[in-house]
Amino acid sequence: MPKTYSDGAPRQAGRATLHGPTMGTRWSATLDADPALDLQALQRDLADAVQQVDAQMSPWKPDSDLVRLNRAAVDAWVALPAEMLQVLQAALQIERSSAGAFDIGVGALVDAWGFGATRDVPDAAAIRAARAARRPATHAVLELNLAAGRARKHAPLQIDLCGIAKGYAVDRMAEALQRHGARHALAALDGELRAVGAQANGEPWAVALERPEPGRRTVHGVIELQDLAVATSGDYRRFVRVGDLQLAHTIDARRGAPLDNTVASVSVLATSCMHADAWATALLVAGPGESFVLAQRHRLEALWLLRRGGTLVELGLGRFAAAAVAGSFADPAAR
């Protein structure tokens, strides 16, 4: 069994697992540690990496850089840290590439439907107001000046980075591991993971793919990672109930409502966990037909779990294609 270390842990060679709280969940890093590696210093740097992302990009922290940007007046420049500008730039690029399936400009809708910092149940009046506030695409109204380290909105806009920030935090963890000389490690935060190399024995890291069942944590399959990231988005882990309806927390900006399709979950492989995270959200929102076309166009490696008549059907691209269940490759647009 791996030895678990927390703050103040002694240095020890061999398999180690470091962990801590962040963003309402926990981060962890499993590594085959060299005896010379200072696990105490690594623990601190990993915690600092994820906490910095939270401090900058949390919609729940009133002093975060994201909240400052959301509260700023239209056309007013707002100084932002380079890390957040990097995330915003990636988010806008994926918004364009996904035809709006991924959209960080959904903050008002997230709050109105009960998934944000303002309320925990849907508010009909707030929903009507958010849906009535017609606006251009987010990439058309959010201007970034990377050289000057600032951004501004050209129309009222409430940004939500929950579909990309955790993936970016995992990338920051991977960077911290590499700075400390870790060559065999797995960084994780919720459903986002990134492998730094393979295990010390040369085997890739085996990662469980969760079965999309509300209220349960069971394994659907296993993914092997080596110098690669994976992120999974689904409709089953966080939701609110309204009467007999179960509303998933992911918002489809194009409909102004929580997603409503037959995709239970999507997992995406990429070298960057930030990109895997955002694309998993985009493909979940786009639905089975459009998302398959998007993934093919952008050469994504993805695995869909689709709900069909009370069962789960797999559909895979790239390295996921060989693992998908035989017979699940009929035209997804017809499903």
Tens digits of residue pLDDT in 198-251 = 999 999 999 998 887 766 677 888 999 999 999 999 876 655 665 555 667 788
Residue 47 has pLDDT above 50, yes or no: yes
Instruction: Please tell me the predicted confidence (pLDDT) of residue 261.
Output: 86
Task: Tally the C-alpha atoms within 13 A of residue 289's C-alpha that lie toward its C-beta.
Answer: 5
Burial of residue 80, with CB atoms counted within 10 A of its CB: 0-12 exposed, 13-18 middle, 19 or more buried: buried
- Best CATH choice for the domain 204-334 from the list 3.40.220.10, 3.40.50.2000, 3.10.520.10, 3.40.50.720: 3.10.520.10
Mean pLDDT over 280-287 rounds to 96
Asked if 199 and 167 count as a contact pair (C-beta separation under 8 A), the reply is no
Give CB contacts under 8 A, 24+ apart, made by 154-158: 154/74, 154/75, 155/74, 156/74, 157/70, 157/105, 157/107, 158/70, 158/105, 158/106, 158/107, 158/108, 158/111
Tell which residue, 293, 315, 162, 303, has the closest CA to residue 232: 303
Tell which residue, 237, 288, 242, 239, has the closest CA to residue 261: 288
Residue 9's φ and ψ, nearest 5 degrees, are: -70, 145
Residue 115 or residue 335, greater confidence: 115
Percent of the residues in the chain that have a pLDDT greater than 90, as a whole number: 64
Residue 37 has pLDDT above 80, yes or no: yes
Q: Give the residue carrying structure tokens 């895997």.
A: 276
Residue 88 has pLDDT above 70, yes or no: yes
Most confident option among 4-18, 88-102, 303-317: 88-102
Q: How confident is the model at residue 253 (pLDDT cuts 50, 70, 90)?
A: confident
Mean pLDDT over 108-126 rounds to 84
Chain-centre distance for alpha carbon 112: 21
Residue 31 has pLDDT above 90, yes or no: yes
Instruction: Please tell me the predicted confidence (pLDDT) of residue 124.
Output: 86
Fold identical between 60-153 and 204-334?
A: no
Asked if 116 and 59 count as a contact pair (C-beta separation under 8 A), the reply is yes
Q: Mean pLDDT for the chain?
A: 88
Task: List the chain domain ranges.
Answer: 60-153, 204-334
- Which CATH fold would you assign to the domain 60-153? T-fold (1.10.3980)
Residues for the chain: how many in total? 335
Asked if 141 and 103 count as a contact pair (C-beta separation under 8 A), the reply is no
Residue 8 or residue 301, greater confidence: 301
Instruction: Please tell me the predicted confidence (pLDDT) of residue 63.
Output: 96
